[in-house]
Amino acid sequence: MNDEINNVDIIEYIISEECKGLRADQAIANENIQFSRSLVQKWIKKGNITVNNKIIKPKDILSENDKVTIIPEENINSNFIKPEEIFIKVEYEDKDLIVVNKDINIVSHPGAGNTSGTLANGLAYKYPELVNLPRSGLIHRLDKDTSGLLIVARSIESYMILIKKMQNKEIKRRYIAFVNGQLMKNGQINQPISRHRIDRKKMAVNPSGKEAITDYEVIKNYKYASKVRLKLHTGRTHQIRVHMQYLGYPIIGDKTYGLKIDKNNKIDILKEFSRQALHAEELQFIHPRNGQDINIKSEVPKDLKELEEALDV
């Protein structure tokens, strides 16, 4: 294992405002998405994870500014993912990594209430070597109803390098979205995000949250909506959806952060579109082994094309 990987063997950081008040296993898994919650629980019980240099229990509640230390083990996949035959569209593949184009209505990896039928289950079936990697090699995720590109590592070496690149903002991610309202100019949203103070399943703009930066570029205006391209500088949970809501142009079809559409609204497509109109269109990064520039793009799926046709009347 090379020096670049060894440098990330020990992980140390401070618990953010977003995760204060959560159980230790939940908070640490939320802030280290490369590790599953069950693996975090195992490491806590073995003493591989300490808080303020003390042994803890998975159910202990963490406070803001608590110091977390994680000492990963070489075999970090204690949470076996059952291989399942699921269709996966592959946009790029070599011996080190894969770029897949996730469809809607599929969860990225197993979690509470979703133990099977996920993209990670399908990856473990199509690429058997991925059962030895956390989350079947997925280094990031997309919401169930967001379509588009995801990077999958095929070895622990590639996995750790790509995770570090993601943490260092060296992987460029661009999205296409259709939003409510006519957005007339390009700009940047630089507003911190944390977990919602009341509804802990949601996120919200909060001055004491984590840094979150999203660039937006208007591609086209329609009578009641706009097509925009978005670039993520950070990767907070639900970042684009929260930021567009904050800007006043929520994503069409977003049941959590979108508009409450008037039942008398004549624009049926705005009422009936079944998911957030958001697609991960482009990934750009340096290959973890050969240093080549990888740039992968994908077309928007059929449902978004149909949405655009309905808006463009």
CATH number for the domain that contains residue 109: 3.30.2350.10
Q: 3-state DSSP call for residue 211?
A: coil
Residue at 285 is within a domain: no
Q: How many domains does the chain have?
A: 3
Q: CA separation (Å) from 149 to 4, 40, 88, 269?
A: 25, 27, 11, 25
- Worst-scoring range by mean pLDDT, 159-163, 191-195, 252-256, 302-306? 159-163
Residue at 148 is within a domain: yes
Which DSSP letter does residue 114 get? B
Rounded CA-CA distance 235/238 in Å is 8
- Worst-scoring range by mean pLDDT, 31-45, 119-133, 139-153, 190-204? 31-45
Q: In this structure, are 261 and 187 located in the same domain? A: yes
Residue at 290 is within a domain: no
pLDDT recorded at residue 76:
47
Q: Active-site positions?
A: 143
- Domain boundary, last residue among 15, 39, 70: 70
As a whole number, mean pLDDT of residues 81-105 equals: 95
Range of the domain at 96: 80-168
Average pLDDT along the chain: 87
Residue at 51 is within a domain: yes
Does the pLDDT of residue 118 top 80, yes or no?
Answer: yes
Rounded CA-CA distance 29/23 in Å is 10
Does the pLDDT of residue 217 top 90, yes or no?
Answer: yes
Residue at 117 is within a domain: yes
Does the pLDDT of residue 225 top 90, yes or no?
Answer: yes
> Rounded to the nearest 10 degrees, what angle do helices 24-31 and 37-46 cross at?
120
Residue at 178 is within a domain: yes
pLDDT recorded at residue 269:
63
pLDDT recorded at residue 276:
95
